[in-house]
């Protein structure tokens, strides 16, 4: 059936095909316009466009529907991507480093949305320093400790053990990517984020209670805590 349709559409003018693309784009909303969605609503098969225009994206472009994921990226997604890159490197990523595999996105969306890499970084730092979950949780925790008489509630964790990417960036911004004990520079998986007062002993997952350690010292600290028990 599809094959016959394609044969038939060989005679359909380009403009008619493109107009149908635009029509479906309008119906669906441009941002999530996939080949599959077109096939459900369009008058032709998506393969017809590939045959006629080379690739699906070329057909979209020809119809004036330049659809890329980049245009849909939110500021939050872009910030989270910098967070990940920062934690991997242990420091502020450079403009020229913002490419795969370190960065999921190219520099382009940062330039487009923020007007430049420098400005994107400024906005990012504001984002990192803005009030966040951890801070709110700390305030709650302190109130609880003041009001409670029992040890049980004081030990109860109000923060998650897991350290968010944002908090990791805050630690790296404060201390740099150097082991607090030996000063060695660490990157990637060699960066260990340590709870100064162990989480198991009621230490909180907050900036004040976190530090960077190298693998050796993180292991040494873990053993020490184990022996103390």
User: Given the rule CB under 5 A, which residues bind Zn ion?
Assistant: 179, 181-182, 214, 217
DSSP bridge partners of 194 = 211
Return the closest-CA partner of residue 182 out of 223, 221, 227.
221
Which residues neighbour 69 within 8 Å (Cβ) at sequence distance 6 or greater? none
Minimal distance, residue 167 CB to Zn ion, in Å: 20
Minimal distance, residue 128 CB to Zn ion, in Å: 25
Which CB sits closer to Zn ion, 166 or 192?
Answer: 192
Which CB sits closer to Zn ion, 138 or 218?
Answer: 218
Q: What's the chain's length in residues?
A: 229
Minimal distance, residue 186 CB to Zn ion, in Å: 8
Which CB sits closer to Zn ion, 121 or 184?
Answer: 184
Which CB sits closer to Zn ion, 9 or 217?
Answer: 217
Six-digit token string for 109: 């969306």
- Give CA angle at 158 (152, 160), nearest 5°: 125
Six-digit token string for 217: 């010292």
Minimal distance, residue 213 CB to Zn ion, in Å: 6
């Amino acid at each position: 059936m599809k094959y016959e349709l394609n044969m038939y559409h060989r005679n359909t003018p380009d403009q008619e095909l493109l107009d149908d693309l635009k029509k479906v784009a309008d119906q669906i909303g441009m941002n999530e316009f996939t080949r599959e969605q077109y096939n459900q609503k369009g008058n032709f098969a998506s393969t017809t466009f590939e045959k006629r225009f080379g690739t699906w994206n070329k057909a979209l472009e020809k119809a004036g529907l330049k659809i890329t994921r980049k245009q849909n990226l939110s500021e939050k997604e872009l910030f989270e991507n910098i967070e990940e890159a920062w934690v991997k490197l242990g420091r502020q990523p450079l403009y020229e480093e913002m490419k795969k595999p370190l960065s999921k996105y190219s520099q382009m969306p940062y330039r487009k949305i923020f007007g430049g890499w420098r400005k994107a970084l400024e906005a990012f730092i504001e984002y990192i320093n803005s009030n966040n979950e951890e801070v709110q949780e700390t305030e709650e925790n302190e109130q609880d400790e003041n009001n409670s008489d029992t040890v049980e509630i004081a030990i109860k964790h109000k923060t998650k053990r897991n350290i968010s990417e944002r908090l990791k960036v805050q630690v790296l911004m404060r201390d740099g990517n150097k082991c607090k004990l030996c000063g060695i520079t660490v990157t990637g998986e060699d960066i260990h984020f340590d709870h100064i007062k162990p989480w198991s002993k009621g230490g909180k997952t907050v900036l004040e209670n976190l530090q960077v350690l190298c693998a050796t010292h993180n292991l040494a600290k873990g053993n020490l805590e184990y022996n103390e028990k």
